[in-house]
Amino acid sequence: MAKTLKSEAEAPDAGSAPQIPNRNEEAVFLSHLNKLRIQQAKAAIKKAEYDAERSVLTDMFRDAKADGFTRKELQAILEDGASSRRDLTAEEQRRAQLREWAGLPAGTQTDLFATPSLAQDEVFAEGQGYTAGLRGDDSTMPDNFPPHHAPAFLRGYHAGQEKLAWAMSEAGHNPEKASSGLKLVANDDAAATSDAA
Instruction: Give the mean model confidence (pLDDT) for residues 35-51.
Output: 96
Residue 128: inside a domain? yes
Residue 164: which of 197, 132, 122, 128 has the closest Cα?
132
Residue 98: inside a domain? yes
| CB-CB contact of 3 with 25 (8 Å) | yes
Instruction: Give the mean model confidence (pLDDT) for residues 125-142.
Output: 86
Question: Facing residues of 4 across strands?
Answer: 24
For residue 192, name the pLDDT band (cuts at 50, 70, 90): very low
pLDDT of residue 155: 93
Q: How far apart are CA 129 and CA 140, in angstroms?
A: 9
pLDDT of residue 88: 74
pLDDT of residue 32: 92
The pTM score is 0.42
Residue 66: inside a domain? no
The single-letter code of the amino acid at 168 is M
Work out how many domains the chain is built from and give that number: 1
Residue 22: inside a domain? no
Residue 189: inside a domain? yes
pLDDT of residue 24: 84
Residue 48: inside a domain? no
For residue 39, name the pLDDT band (cuts at 50, 70, 90): very high
pLDDT of residue 103: 80
Is a pLDDT exceeding 70 seen at residue 104? yes
Q: How far apart are CA 109 and CA 127, in angstroms?
A: 13
HSE of 47, CA atoms in CB hemisphere, 13 A: 6
pLDDT of residue 122: 83
| CB-CB contact of 134 with 160 (8 Å) | yes
| CB-CB contact of 173 with 190 (8 Å) | no
Residue 58: inside a domain? no
For residue 77, name the pLDDT band (cuts at 50, 70, 90): confident
Q: How far apart are CA 127 and CA 149, in angstroms?
A: 11
Q: Which residues contact 88 (CB under 8 A, 6 or more apart)?
A: 80
Residue 68: inside a domain? no
Give residue 113's domain range: 94-196
pLDDT of residue 188: 45
